[in-house]
Amino acid sequence: MRITVEQGDITRVQTDAICLGIFQGVQRPGGAAGAVDKALGGALSEILTDGDFLCKKGEVFWLRTHGKIAAKRVLLVGLGPAEKFSADVVREISAAAARAAKNLSELTTIAHGAGIGGLEPHTAAQATVEGTLLGLYRFEKFKKPEEPIKLERLRIIEHSAEKLEQLKLGAQRGQIIAESVCFARDLANEPGQSLTPRELARRAQEFAQDLGLRCEVFDENALERLGMGGILSVGKGSNEPPRFIVLEYNLTKNSRPIVLVGKGITFDSGGISIKPREGMEAMKYDMSGAAAVIGTMRAIALLKLPISAVGLIAAAENLPSGKALKPGDVIKISNNKTVEVTNTDAEGRLVLADALVYAQRYNPQAVIDLATLTGACTIALGKEAAGLFSNDETLAQKIQRAAQQSGERVWPLPIYDEYKELIKSEIADIKNSTNKGPQAGAAIGAIFLQEFVSYPWAHLDIAGVAYDVESRLYHAKGATGYGVRLLVELLQSWQ
């Protein structure tokens, strides 16, 4: 989509439609909506007074202008209550507006919130663009589009020249971030049939070459040399070999990067501890952590952020076969710690263990892993937040601030020492799950991972938020791309 920011009078812009946001309870609009209302002889005020349009969040209302202003139509979109207004509301209402206008060729809008909404101009523009692009997202690789989207151009109009540069900066940033989220969504939505560990590695190499990132891919022979028994053991039940992918951005000899680690199980049947049939098709999303890391690396490269960052992706298929990892087996992670495997469906923590050990070689400032790790986290938090576990309070607070700014929520959960008792093994250093029943499932996954870190670290359990989140207007059915906006916000504000 072509996106422009222009100075001008919203009532004089020739366009298919102008989009205006109005808060719930308002009967006489102000700002840009007030100017349009005056030009239309009070038509907006009349609609609001009569209750034809209640301004609920994401509600839309069309009206024709009959030549009274240059635009052919006005698209009103409800902002909801003023006291609940935020940048994430801007994303949601921008998505609703874009979907309503999808059959037009051009939509002209204000940067919602940059005026009476109280947002900084760059924040308002970024959120407006993000919501527009995320709201129009569709995954149509394997189907003919039922109704093609015609909307090709978004114009942001601002009356004040003083805000123009900030709006342009925010719009540009919003487009890069939203397109990177969509890039991650595409990866996560693709079936395991066509997105195998080798194909995921190939695509990582392809985009890294395009953007000037260094990319190295370790095949099964290299994994053997590195002693990555976690990744190898999970992948050995499949005919598709595992891969370990390393992406490096702006790395110098003396830099201490932030390392992002993604779980890349391209399909998860549960292995020998096989999952129930119902819903197993959704296990193509078990590489959503890897998709988020790839999307984030894409975004920070295009944004040219002044940081050093590394993305590590442990990719494998978890399938049952005569070669597959069995419950009761003992494997060795690359730091020589042994693990008794009591549940082959707790495989994500095994591949992440090798990646977390590998991260140590970078002497990182911090390491953050993202994984669709446990159904228990979804039970605890539903689909409204990722579980945040960390051994470093400063890092955890940075992530929480970034979550608030990005709209991708996290909720801190504990890693008590007592949880270690639940993964004690009689025959190995630790075991990968507990036989004490369904207690503290998300925390047990985190306490296992903590055994393999020696640096400031945070674990984000994104099982609930990675796909099919219907409570956000900018989400389509399927992958959400969760984590890209959060991590980009974290990295661009890193100090």
Catalytic residue from among 163, 263, 284, 349: 349
- Would you tell me the crossing angle of helices 164-189 and 288-303 to the nearest 10 degrees? 150
For the record, the structure tokens of 27 come out as 């009967």
Could you tell me if 474 and 355 are in contact, meaning their C-beta atoms sit under 8 angstroms apart? no
SS3 category, 319: coil
Closest among 463, 462, 461, 481 to 472, alpha carbons compared: 481
Q: Report d(CA 407, CA 413) in Å as an integer.
A: 19
Cross-strand bridge partners of residue 154: 3, 107
Residue 275 annotated among the catalytic residues of the structure: yes
Which among 275, 326, 332, 337 is annotated as catalytic?
A: 275
Q: Quick check: 231 and 345 in contact, CB under 8 A?
A: no
Instruction: Tell me how far apart the alpha carbons of residues 473 and 287 are, in angstroms, rounded to a whole number.
Output: 23
CA nearest 351: which of 379, 317, 383, 323? 317
CA dist 243 and 285 (Å) reads 17
With residue 323 as reference, give the H or E element that holds it: none
CA distance 372 to 87: 26
Q: Is 163 a catalytic residue?
A: no
CA 485, distance to chain mean position in Å, is 6
Give the integer Cα–Cα distance in Å for 453 and 437. 26
Direct distance between the N- and C-terminal alpha carbons of the chain, in angstroms, rounded to an integer: 33
Identify the three-state secondary structure at position 305. Answer: coil
Catalytic residues: 275, 349
